[in-house]
Amino acid sequence: MGLSPAELSVVVGEMGEPAFRARQIFTALHRRRLRSFDEMTDLPKELRARLAERATTSTLTVESRYVAEDGTRRYLMKTHDNFPVETVFIPEERRDTICFSSQSGCPLKCDFCLTAKLGLLRTLTAGEIVEQIVIALNDAYGVGAKTPHGTNLVAMGAGEPFLAFEPLMKALGVMADPDGLHIVPNRVTVSTAGIVPRIRELAGVADRPHLAVSLAAPTDELRDVLMPINKKWPLKELLAACKEFELSLKPGERFTFEYVMLDGVNDSDVYARQLANLLNRHQLRAKVNLIPHNPAEPLPYCPSPEERVESFKAILEAKGVQAFVRRPRGRDIYAACGQLAALRTTVQPDLHQPA
């Protein structure tokens, strides 16, 4: 699933098959979203058997599926070597968003995030990234069925996408192919906790996804505690890299800061003013998404009350910083930001259907 059409050509070439077979297989896997060679009935039976001997079309298996009251679906999958992978399908009126994981677990130790408690288990391959999207679309619409509206992707599941940079970029290339899923980078947002060299690197990439940067605090003192990666790349360096990225944007394009709102921790009016001043000082025009904390045992935080979030937002806006409040999705099934930790939650039996 992680091979480009050109790489597939090499594989079929080595098997003594004509090049057009590569396109056929690529289309079968990515546009028709077939999950086994056996289903590719447009290939000679003998070729299907030879393919099945040397390759696999799918390596992820779905262990559980949870459906939230708001229609959000969380898939708990596992890799061939038994590591958990989580994917979230978020239906919206005019589009769907699929939130995928780039790593099993995560090496960063953000204090408010449940995934952090797993530690890093393993970085996912390009194929495992693409497969997550295929599995979610097949479950939502049926195998190979046309999707009724556009699909947006966010690399905001488990893991730090910029520590999975190569497989991530590889997967995005495969998914952009018009013969396959045809989800172009412009429909993808990659969220980072602030891996500065990769932000700079992405600034130089022409056909690239949108960028979101998780801030969570406007001072090094607080960010060191909430997001220890800040000790390696403190705010000054992070925001300088963000500025460089901003300068590479096309007219009208913007990038996003995410700010998780933790009750009594980072949500005061003083912090709001500091945040606005910080962004203004660095002359950043990025918008800020305020994300109320999604609580989860054993995280020692609570979501900020609504009035607090509104007051915080008003201060940012009064200082010329555009801010939006994000509505949490799928909290009841542990599908929301920062809640992905391979949990087998108990939900109403009729909603919990192993796939």
Interacting residue ranges for ligand SAH, rule: CB under 6 A: 112-113, 156, 160, 191-193, 214, 216, 258, 260, 291, 293-294, 337-338
Question: Which residue, 3 or 199, is less far from ligand SAH as judged by CB?
Answer: 199
Beta-strand pair 103-105/120-123: antiparallel
Angle between the N-to-C axes of helices 165-176 and 126-141, in degrees from 0 to 180, rounded to the nearest 10: 50
3-state secondary structure of 287: strand
Give 178 or 298: the residue with its C-beta nearer to ligand SAH: 298
Distance CA 93, CA 49 (A): 42
Q: Where are the beta strands (DSSP E) in the chain?
A: 61-67, 73-78, 84-91, 96-99, 103-105, 120-123, 151-155, 188-192, 210-214, 256-261, 287-292, 323-325
- Measured from the CB atom, is 62 or 302 closer to ligand SAH? 302
Pick the closest to residue 173 from 137, 132, 204, 208 (CA basis).
Answer: 208
Minimum CB separation from ligand SAH for residue 142, in Å?
Answer: 29
CB of 152 to ligand SAH, least distance (A): 15
Q: What single-letter amino acid sits at 333? A: I
Closest distance of CB 298 from ligand SAH, Å: 12
Q: Which two tokens stand for residue 83?
A: 């590591």
Nearest CB to ligand SAH, comparing residues 29 and 291: 291
Annotated active-site residue 221? The verdict is no
- The least distance separating ligand SAH from the CB of residue 200, rounded to whole angstroms, comes to 17
Q: Which residue's CB is nearer to ligand SAH, number 214 or number 230?
A: 214
Q: How far apart are CA 136 and CA 111, in angstroms?
A: 29
Instruction: Say if CB 336 and CB 302 are below 8 A apart.
Output: no
337 classed as catalytic: yes
Burial 75-98 (b: 16+ CB within 10 A, else e): bbbbbeeebbbbbbbbeeeeebbb
Marked catalytic residue, from 86, 131, 246, 258: 86
Strand, coil or helix: 195: coil
Distance in angstroms (rounded) separating the CA atoms of residues 36 and 47: 13
**Residue 346 beta carbon to ligand SAH: minimum distance, rounded to whole angstroms:** 20
What is the 8-class DSSP label of residue 260? E
> Least CB distance from residue 36 to ligand SAH, whole Å?
32
Burial of 58 (0-12, 13-18, 19+ CB in 10 A): middle
List the catalytic residue out of 106, 113, 242, 337: 337
Backbone angles phi, psi at 259, to 5 degrees: -135, 105
Please, what is the minimum distance in Å from the beta carbon of residue 180 to ligand SAH? 25
Pick the closer one to ligand SAH by CB: 26 or 271. Answer: 271
CB closest to ligand SAH, residue no = 338
Shorter beta-carbon distance to ligand SAH: residue 43 or 291: 291
Beta bridge partners of 261: 292
The residues assigned a catalytic role are 86, 337
